[in-house]
Amino acid sequence: AGWTPWVSSHKPNPDDVMDGDTEDLSLLANADDFNLCGGDMSMVADIDCREINSQTPWTSTGQSDLICDTLTGFYCSNSMNYPEGCHDYEISVLCQCPPTTTQTTTSTVTSTTTTHKTTQTTGMHHPQETTEHTTTGAVTTTGTNIPVTTGAATTTLQEATTPKVCVAGWTPWVSSHKPNPDDVMDGDTEDLSLLANADDFNLCGGDMSMVADIDCREINSQTEWSS
């Protein structure tokens, strides 16, 4: 679950009026190179689109008749943006795990109350003595001819809906500091522990134990840090 990395599958040709930029969400979800939300379109809860080079949100590029939604993905037509043509765009989608139904078992024990009378006669001139015993639930006794009721057990199945436990994926790309090249004491620092707990970023929900891997790149060119 969570936002996927930014992806782009097509680079528009501005010289072809019939071309444009298309990021087909259903194709991207099932393509081996992308496999968005594990290929399950029902998990796609939201989408974001932006221009690749400037990282400008799609709503602020000034281009016409753009589509960015969870049904289509992204679409831009060169013919609607002639003569400039479409910029190159990328998308990121929010994946949410669906709920799952589990069964829980509840056992209920029902007890029965039994009343038993015993009559004892001693000698010729003594009146009869009557003793009344009331038994509830499960009882153990050593007497003779005394019935015992231990109760009946019944089992009830109940269905409960609980959220599925799912593992988060890659976060969006983030940057908290812009280096000052004129300051020899400065540089670029992205402190993971601070980013994890900062309200503006809140990486992995602030739980550093969830961080399994990291990737870094140069913002403008998107060049990998190792290259």
Task: Summarize pLDDT for 37-69 with one digit per residue, the tens.
Answer: 888 888 999 999 999 999 999 999 999 999 999
Q: Identify which of 166, 172, 10 has the alpha carbon closest to the alpha carbon of residue 75.
A: 10
Inter-residue contact 133 to 146 (CB < 8 Å): yes
Q: Which parts of the chain register pLDDT below 70?
A: 100-168, 184-185, 193, 197-203, 205-209
Tokens representing 110?
A: 């029902």
Q: Percentage helix, strand, coil, to 5, in the chain? A: 15, 30, 55
The dihedral built from the CA positions of residue 99, 100, 103 and 104, taken in this order, carries a sign that is: negative
Q: In this predicted structure, what is the pLDDT of residue 209?
A: 64
Q: In this predicted structure, what is the pLDDT of residue 53?
A: 95
Q: In this predicted structure, what is the pLDDT of residue 49?
A: 97
- Considering the entire predicted model, what is its pTM? 0.47
Read off the DSSP letter of residue 203: G
Which residue has tokens 């049904």? 71
Q: In this predicted structure, what is the pLDDT of residue 162?
A: 45
Buried b (16+ CB within 10 A) or exposed e, 48-67: bbbbeeeeeebeebebeebe
Q: In this predicted structure, what is the pLDDT of residue 200?
A: 62
Return contacts of 71-76, CB within 8 angstroms, 24+ apart.
71/25, 72/24, 72/25, 73/22, 73/23, 73/24, 73/25, 73/26, 73/28, 73/47, 74/21, 74/22, 74/23, 74/47, 74/49, 75/20, 75/21, 75/22, 75/23, 76/12, 76/20, 76/21, 76/22
- Residues facing 113 on adjacent strands: 136
Parallel, antiparallel or unpaired: strands 20-24 and 73-77: antiparallel
Tokens representing 205?
A: 């929900």
- Residues facing 152 on adjacent strands: 110
Inter-residue contact 168 to 209 (CB < 8 Å): no
Q: In this predicted structure, what is the pLDDT of residue 173?
A: 81
Q: How far from the centroid of its chain's Cα atoms is residue 78's Cα?
A: 37
Residue 130 φ/ψ region, left for φ over 0, alpha for ψ in the -120 to 50 degree band, beta for the rest: beta
Residues 182, 197: Cα–Cα separation, whole Å: 30
Read off the DSSP letter of residue 154: E
